[in-house]
Amino acid sequence: MSDSKYENLRELANRVSRSTVAVVDAMSQRGAFKGEELTTIGQLRDQCVQIIQLIESMDQEEAMEVDESETPHIADKE
């Protein structure tokens, strides 16, 4: 998969997951779900939270890689 397609997928997954969590939370506060639906809705919310955490972790790893590549090494200064 090309980098731009990968980035588009990643951004979309992040936005959809965050929106889904917000919608599930709002609907559950309003009592929109029947008891038998709560397990499925809870699993959906948990899966979205996992996606959000995974993307945030990937973002942090990439930021650290960029920082490391931009930081001059001691050997480079000599």
Residue 61 lies in a domain: yes
Residue type at 69?
A: S
Q: What is the pLDDT of residue 72?
A: 66
Instruction: Tally the domains of the chain.
Output: 1
Q: Say whether pLDDT at 13 is over 60.
A: yes
Q: pLDDT tens digits, residue range 40-65? A: 999 999 999 999 999 999 999 988 88
Domain that includes residue 55, residue range? 3-70
What sign for the dihedral angle of Cα 55, 56, 59, 65? negative
Q: Mean pLDDT, the chain, as a whole number?
A: 90
Q: Which helix (H) or strand (E) holds 63?
A: helix 38-70
Rounded CA-CA distance 10/18 in Å is: 12
For residue 18, tell me if it sits in a domain. yes
Pairwise CA distance, residues 23 & 41, whole Å: 11
Confidence (pTM): 0.78
| Residue 24 placed within a domain | yes
Q: Tell me which residue has tokens 């969590």.
A: 21
- 76 inside domain: no
Summarised one tens digit per residue, pLDDT across range 16-28 is 999 999 999 999 9
